[in-house]
Chain A
Amino acid sequence: MTNFAAWSVRAIQDGLAAKDFSAKEIAASSLENIAQTDKEIHAFLEVSENLAYEQAEKIDAAISEGKFAECGFLAGVPLAFKDNMNQVGTKTTCSSKMLANYQSAYSATCVEKALGAGAIPLGKLNMDEFAFGSSTETSFFGPTKNPWDTSRVPGGSSGGSAAAVASAQACVTLGSDTGGSIRQPASFCGVVGLKPSYGVVSRYGVVGFGSSLDQVGPLTKTVEDAALALNAISGFDARDCMSKDIQTDFTKNLDAGVSGMKIGIVPAFMEAPGLEREMKAKVLEAASNLEKLGATLVEIDLPHAQAAMSAYYVLGPCEAFSNLARFDAIRYGYCDPNHGDLGSQYEASRGKGFGMETCRRIMLGSYLLSAGVYDTYYYPAQQVRTLITSDYAQAFEKVSCILAPVTPTTAFRFGAISDPMQMYLSDMFTVSVNIAGNGALSLPVGLGADSNLPTGVQLISAQFKDENMLQVAAALESCYDVLRIAPPFAEGKVGA
């Protein structure tokens, strides 16, 4: 059976419009493929077979009535959601024992929008617990494997979202990115991972981690698919008070090329300790490709970027501490039985319901917000945030887009990083973007010369100018003939 999840959005939609196959066939083939491959990959925590067939029926009915054109940007596209997104009819576990039995009481706006645009929902995807991590190893339900090498991590926290695309289990997945959680796994798995500017996609119904940093975005095989998916899920939502009313068609510049465009390079990033030789080489190769396409490279300085990691590891845990205070084991969540008083029920439920990384972040946040300590770390971190934001704003007066590394290394082996501090360094090139609220994406640029594993480069745009980085990404993508699906899973065709 053809696995339509291996196809591009446009190929699927052209085939549906021509009645070459039905949405039901797409759902059936995707579900069968997941059943075959997920024992090895473990990207899915739940497969929503009934919901997939219900949606497929609606699409097929629209096609038979001649109304396919009205179905939306993602009509008939097999798609899956990170398991921190509420979707009625599924559990939303955040890969935590705390929420192992939590049934979504409502649907997140991004879920509603994806379904409203006609996507076929395949299920919910594994992640680091509450999105705290860079490898999916903190999932209570066990890690996801990297489809390129199952002895390696897929990255995180949206590791299930990246692995599902790279193994052709889903055409599009949604992830969330607080400090790099879409871009880093996209790089590790060789797929496109797009973190829109903060405010472009509603956060309503997505379990909060760092509320001033969190943003939802798509993971896909191609830049065009990412732009189409962003068209579907973006837009103003009164239920997210940070939602921005922008009405951009994110596909509008995809064919515009980069001739005459100014693209920034940050020399300090290229000399950063820990950036592996093969990753640096990929960024330099991308820079050279952009020049060949007619772009001009401009060196830019982000003088406060070096403080971004420490600012992030102040702000992130403080906001997480506040967000995770809601887990009281009374209204929902794991409740440890047989306690005679409320205090011991709280402590036992939270102690047993949360994994160790979650406990570390909650405790760190609590400490950093305590009297006296607040003035030493939290307040300065917010001031540094102003400086980082201003650095980017000044840079974007000179350039339309910035080219940077996305991760310092390719995918590492399971268990290779046990020190939390080492794990945090995985995000060294991505966190400053969340702090400033810019858009950024990871574009796959082929296998690393030393590791022979997928690599990516990062393109960063000014806030609410996400179409600029998509324009550059689409042009740059044309320079590479790289597989977007890991070879063991790649019998399908991307551009068919």
Chain B
Amino acid sequence: MTQPLSEKDVRAIAQYVRIGLPEEEIGQLTIDLNNIIESLEPITAYNLNGVEPTYHPIDGLSNVMREDTEGTSFTQEEALANAAKHQDGSFVVPAILGGGDAS
């Protein structure tokens, strides 16, 4: 139903999902992904006209709300505890606008 993925497509998907892959992995990954996608074909073979989709397995569930009351949350220290780098109560990230210094 869809064209097989090319290695170029696979590089583009990797970039989109922000996964840096070594070039030597791309060939096998392309083969694997195409094999998997081919195995999904049965899903395209059914007559599904008029069939409603099911997004989750609990029937008749609508939005779930709770009372708008005060609760506990993480302290700043707890929220930062697993960060690779933090400073003055904030997460540290490299420059996002380009040309900046990483430090």
Q: List residues of A whose CB falls within 8 A of some B CB.
A: 101-103, 105-106, 198-199, 212-213, 238, 241-242, 244, 304, 306-307, 309-311, 313-314, 321, 325, 329-333, 335, 338-348, 350-352, 354, 356, 359-360, 362-364, 366-368, 372-373, 376-377, 379-387, 389, 419-421, 424, 435-437, 463
12 contacts between A and B (CB under 8 A): A212-B57, A307-B42, A340-B101, A341-B102, A343-B18, A346-B18, A352-B20, A364-B33, A379-B53, A386-B51, A386-B52, A435-B57
Min CB–CB distance A178 → chain B (angstroms): 12
A interface footprint on B32-47 (CB within 8 Å = 1, 0 otherwise)? 1101110111111010
Q: Write out the residue numbers on chain B whose beta carbons fall within 8 Å of the beta carbon of A419.
A: 35
Is A363 a contact partner of B19 (Cβ separation < 8 A)?
yes
Main secondary structure of the interface of A (DSSP, over half): helix
Q: Write out the residue numbers on chain B whose beta carbons fall within 8 Å of the beta carbon of A383.
A: 46, 48, 51-54
Is A330 a contact partner of B93 (Cβ separation < 8 A)?
yes
Is B29 a contact partner of A359 (Cβ separation < 8 A)?
yes
Min CB–CB distance A288 → chain B (angstroms): 32
Please report the C-alpha to C-alpha distance between residue A321 and residue B18 in the assembled complex, in whole angstroms.
Answer: 11
Is B18 a contact partner of A376 (Cβ separation < 8 A)?
no
Please report the C-alpha to C-alpha distance between residue A342 and residue B36 in the assembled complex, in whole angstroms.
Answer: 32
The 8 closest A-B pairs by CB, nearest first: A437-B57, A335-B84, A351-B20, A382-B53, A347-B20, A332-B82, A241-B64, A346-B18
Q: List residues of B whose CB falls within 8 A of some A CB.
A: 1-2, 5, 10, 13-22, 25, 29, 32-33, 35-37, 39-44, 46, 48, 51-58, 61, 64, 66, 74, 78-79, 81-85, 91, 93-96, 98, 100-102
Is A420 a contact partner of B32 (Cβ separation < 8 A)?
yes
Is B57 a contact partner of A421 (Cβ separation < 8 A)?
no
Please report the C-alpha to C-alpha distance between residue A347 and residue B33 in the assembled complex, in whole angstroms.
Answer: 20
Is B19 a contact partner of A350 (Cβ separation < 8 A)?
yes
20 more contacts with CB within 8 A, not counting A198-B57, A351-B19, A366-B17, are A103-B81, A199-B57, A212-B57, A242-B58, A310-B39, A325-B17, A329-B84, A330-B84, A340-B102, A347-B18, A359-B29, A360-B36, A363-B10, A363-B33, A366-B16, A372-B2, A376-B2, A377-B40, A387-B51, A421-B36
Q: Which residue of B lies closest to A352 (CB)?
A: B20
Please report the C-alpha to C-alpha distance between residue A306 and residue B43 in the assembled complex, in whole angstroms.
Answer: 10
Min CB–CB distance A209 → chain B (angstroms): 15
Q: Write out the residue numbers on chain A whose beta carbons fall within 8 Å of the beta carbon of B16.
A: 366
Also in contact, A331 and B53, with CB within 8 A (given A363-B13, A421-B39)? no
Also in contact, A331 and B91, with CB within 8 A (given A105-B82, A198-B57)? yes
Is A331 a contact partner of B33 (Cβ separation < 8 A)?
no
Q: Write out the residue numbers on chain B whose beta carbons fall within 8 Å of the beta carbon of A380.
A: 43-44, 46, 48
Q: Write out the residue numbers on chain B whose beta carbons fall within 8 Å of the beta carbon of A314.
A: 40, 43
Is B20 a contact partner of A350 (Cβ separation < 8 A)?
yes
Q: Write out the residue numbers on chain A whose beta carbons fall within 8 Å of the beta carbon of B78.
A: 105
Q: Write out the residue numbers on chain A whose beta carbons fall within 8 Å of the beta carbon of B61.
A: 242
Q: Write out the residue numbers on chain A whose beta carbons fall within 8 Å of the beta carbon of B95.
A: 340-342
Min CB–CB distance B98 → chain A (angstroms): 6
Min CB–CB distance A195 → chain B (angstroms): 12
Is A359 a contact partner of B19 (Cβ separation < 8 A)?
yes
Partner of A350, one of B18, B52, B101: B18
Partner of A384, one of B15, B29, B46, B85: B46
Is A342 a contact partner of B58 (Cβ separation < 8 A)?
no
Is B40 a contact partner of A331 (Cβ separation < 8 A)?
no
Also in contact, A105 and B94, with CB within 8 A (given A366-B13, A367-B33, A382-B55)? no
Q: Write out the residue numbers on chain B whose beta carbons fall within 8 Å of the beta carbon of A309.
A: 39, 42
Q: Write out the residue numbers on chain A whose beta carbons fall within 8 Å of the beta carbon of B37.
A: 364, 367
Please report the C-alpha to C-alpha distance between residue A16 and residue B37 in the assembled complex, in whole angstroms.
Answer: 55
Please report the C-alpha to C-alpha distance between residue A338 and residue B44 in the assembled complex, in whole angstroms.
Answer: 46
Also in contact, A360 and B82, with CB within 8 A (given A105-B74, A310-B42)? no
Min CB–CB distance B16 → chain A (angstroms): 6
Q: Write out the residue numbers on chain B whose beta carbons fall within 8 Å of the beta carbon of A384.
A: 43, 46, 48
Q: Which residue of B lies closest to A215 (CB)?
A: B57
Please report the C-alpha to C-alpha distance between residue A362 and residue B98 in the assembled complex, in whole angstroms.
Answer: 27
Min CB–CB distance B72 → chain A (angstroms): 10
Please report the C-alpha to C-alpha distance between residue A304 and residue B78 in the assembled complex, in whole angstroms.
Answer: 48
Is A348 a contact partner of B20 (Cβ separation < 8 A)?
yes
Please report the C-alpha to C-alpha distance between residue A386 and residue B32 in the assembled complex, in whole angstroms.
Answer: 29
Q: Write out the residue numbers on chain A whose beta carbons fall within 8 Å of the beta carbon of B17.
A: 321, 325, 350, 362-363, 366
Q: Write out the residue numbers on chain B whose beta carbons fall within 8 Å of the beta carbon of A368.
A: 40
Also in contact, A307 and B43, with CB within 8 A (given A331-B83, A359-B29, A385-B53)? yes
Please report the C-alpha to C-alpha distance between residue A341 and residue B95 in the assembled complex, in whole angstroms.
Answer: 5
Please report the C-alpha to C-alpha distance between residue A351 and residue B33 in the assembled complex, in whole angstroms.
Answer: 17
Is A360 a contact partner of B32 (Cβ separation < 8 A)?
yes
- Which of B35, B46, B57 has the largest number of chain A CB atoms within 10 A? B57
Is A310 a contact partner of B40 (Cβ separation < 8 A)?
yes
Also in contact, A307 and B46, with CB within 8 A (given A341-B96, A347-B20, A367-B5)? yes
